[in-house]
Amino acid sequence: MCATRNLAVWSAMAGSFLAFPSMVWAQAVWQRPDHTATLPTPEQTRPAHVDDSALDPAFAGVSGAAPIHSDTPEEQALPPIPVVSEDEARQEAEALTRAFRHEVPVALPVSSAYKTAWVALARQQLEQAGYVLDRPQVLVVVDRNPRVQRLCLILALPSSPDWQVIGSARVSTGTTGRKYYYITPTGVFPNSADRLGYRALGTKNENGIMGNGTTGMRVWDFGWQWAEKGWLLSHDKVQIRLEMHATDPVYLEQRLGHTASEGCIRIPSSLNVFIDRHGLLDVQYEQKAAVDRRFAALLRKDRVASPIAGLVVVVVDTADYASPLPLAVLKNTDMLHKHDARG
């Protein structure tokens, strides 16, 4: 679900725009609309590899579950963020790579050309944003290039230029040519503990589409961000609520790899679970969970938080890469992957 500050338009396909500037996203409760019997239920459409038994009922959309309310926690010392050596970080990244291949069936290999481009552009965005790499950590790098549309998990190392690819899969970012659809902005977007994300309830729109995926899928909220109106040549901008989330596993997940969203980042359900279970964007949430039960309730009970978990999604665009990639690379990434699966 994406939103704009001054607009209230329900999408006909996936996600929606809501004009609620003061919305408390994690505490919002949606009612499941009535649908015809011919449409599949969330239980029927849930991918077989997705297990939501470890989710807290208040955030998993379980029928009848009341949302958790917590008094503002008193000032307490947060536990330290884990810091490991470069060698330990590489070993953890290798373990995550093996897990990625097992847990994310839609994983794609990464060519050396794309690794070089993504690392260079991610470094550029981090520098422009003033984000300091003070420990080895995972970056979630998203390439919004319409010809690419990929997400790559990369181990970033403060003292080494040789960053390490963990895994990659197709995604969908904001598209052009449709009114009220916005171009996903480039930049560095932290999953800050200043905002509390939420989980999908499996709610369908009037077309039977689950815009945020099946019940229990994680929705990462990156706050209000400026984005270009994709239907105007003037490139006017407006603030949208930027999120990363799963999508409908029956009707829309098969279309990942093409621009399609209203501005948010759509990812496969298996990748959603992988990032969620390993806490790869939750380094601040893990700290906060120790003193605030709202964050503890949102996180999976069966999670195995990685010591190289990070904080940020970095959106780049290889269409703007200073050293243009070969045209064949942009035209046919699948063929490239078949010939170069070393990444």
Predicted pLDDT at 321: 87
- Confidence category of residue 342, pLDDT binned at 50, 70, 90: very low
Strand 237-245 relative to strand 265-266, pairing: parallel
Distance from C-alpha of 139 to C-alpha of 194, rounded to nearest angstrom: 19
Decide: 128 and 114 in contact? Cβ < 8 Å: no
Predicted pLDDT at 27: 34
Structure tokens at 224: 């209000």
What is the tens place of the pLDDT at every residue in 63-102? 333 444 444 545 578 999 999 999 999 999 999 999 999 9
Strand 137-143 relative to strand 3-4, pairing: unpaired
Question: pTM (2 decimals)?
Answer: 0.78
Q: Reduce the secondary structure of 14-26 to three states and give it as a string.
A: CCEECCCCCCCHH
DSSP for 195-236, written as a single string: S--EE------TTS--TT-STT-EEEEEEEEEEEETT-TT--
Q: What is the pLDDT averaged over residues 118-139?
A: 97
3-state DSSP assignment of residue 77: coil
Residue type, 183: I
What is the tens place of the pLDDT at every residue in 22-37? 333 333 333 333 333 3
- Confidence category of residue 326, pLDDT binned at 50, 70, 90: low
Decide: 9 and 180 in contact? Cβ < 8 Å: yes
The chain-wide mean pLDDT, for the chain, equals 82
Predicted pLDDT at 235: 85
Distance from C-alpha of 286 to C-alpha of 302, rounded to nearest angstrom: 13
Decide: 197 and 241 in contact? Cβ < 8 Å: no
Structure tokens at 282: 């939750």
Q: What is the pLDDT averaged over residues 307-314?
A: 98
Predicted pLDDT at 26: 36
pLDDT at position 6 over 90: no
Predicted pLDDT at 227: 98
Q: Which range among 14-18, 76-80, 206-210 has the greatest average pLDDT?
A: 206-210
Predicted pLDDT at 1: 61
Predicted pLDDT at 10: 37
Q: What is the pLDDT averaged over residues 250-276?
A: 97
What is the tens place of the pLDDT at every residue in 134-191? 999 999 999 999 999 999 999 999 999 999 999 999 999 999 999 999 999 999 999 9
pLDDT at position 254 over 80: yes
3-state SS of the chain: helix, strand, coil percent to 5? 25, 20, 55
Using alpha carbons, list the distances in angstroms from residue 272 to 235, 278, 285: 31, 10, 16
Q: What DSSP designation does 262 have?
A: S
Q: What is the pLDDT averaged over residues 43-48?
A: 48
3-state DSSP assignment of residue 83: coil
Distance from C-alpha of 24 to C-alpha of 311, rounded to nearest angstrom: 21
pLDDT at position 8 over 60: no
Predicted pLDDT at 42: 42
